Amino acid sequence: MFIVFEGIDGTGKSTQVNLLADALRQQGREVVTSKEPTDGPHGTRLRQSADTGRLSPQEELDLFHLDRKEHIASLIKPSLERGAVVILDRYFFSTMAYQGVRGFDPLEIRRINEEFAPLPDHVFILELDLDTALDRIGVRDGEANQFEQRDSLQKCHEVFAALDDDFIHRVDAGQTPEKVHEGVLSHLS
C-alpha cells in the first residue's frame, strides 16, 4: 500500500504521517515513511536553494524530478515490492502545485511524472484556510513577503482542490491532530 499526504505548508502533514505510521505498525505492518524533497543530493540542493537563492523554474523542476526518480528507485519501489506500506510527506502532486505556481502547466507536470512515478493507492489532501496556514508557518500581517506567500499558497491550494481522482481524500486540517488522524483512518477502513 502506497499512501501520500499533500497540502500547502502549515497543514500538519508530517504529524499525520507519523500518527498513521504508528497506527499501522500497531497492526503489525511494516511501514516505511519518507518525504520529498528527500535528504539525498538533489533534495538537499533544493532545500539549500531556499536560503541561498532560488533556482530558475526549469532547474528547480528538473531537480524535483531527479530527486523523485532516485527516491522511487532507492526506497519507494523496493519497499512496496517487499510488501511494506510506504507513507510519504509530499509527492508529485506538490510538483503540480508548487512548480505550477512558477509557470508550468500542472497537467503537463502530472503527465511527465506518471511516466516514471507509481500512482499512490491513497492521497490525503490536508485542507486548511490560508490565514491559519500562514499563521502556523509564522507569516504575520505586514511582513514584506506576506502577499507573495499568500498568493502562491492560494494557487497551490487551487491545484490541490482541482484533483478529483478516486484515490484523493480531503481532510479538514483545522481540527486537532487526533481528529484529523481519525478522518484519515476512516478513509482507510
- Which residues of this protein are in contact with ligand TYD, per CB under 6 A? 9, 36-37, 64, 89-90, 94-95, 98-99
Q: State the minimum distance, in angstroms, from the CB of residue 50 to ligand TYD.
A: 7
- Comparing CB distances to ligand TYD, the nearer of 16 and 94 is 94
Q: State the minimum distance, in angstroms, from the CB of residue 11 to ligand TYD.
A: 10
Q: State the minimum distance, in angstroms, from the CB of residue 26 to ligand TYD.
A: 26
Contact 5, 33 (CB under 8 A): no
Contact 89, 13 (CB under 8 A): yes
- Comparing CB distances to ligand TYD, the nearer of 27 and 52 is 52
Q: State the minimum distance, in angstroms, from the CB of residue 96 to ligand TYD.
A: 8
- Comparing CB distances to ligand TYD, the nearer of 110 and 169 is 110
- Comparing CB distances to ligand TYD, the nearer of 16 and 95 is 95
- Comparing CB distances to ligand TYD, the nearer of 90 and 157 is 90
Nearest residue to ligand TYD, by Cβ distance, number only: 98
What gap in Å lies between CA 122 and CA 119, rounded to an integer?
9
Q: State the minimum distance, in angstroms, from the CB of residue 177 to ligand TYD.
A: 16
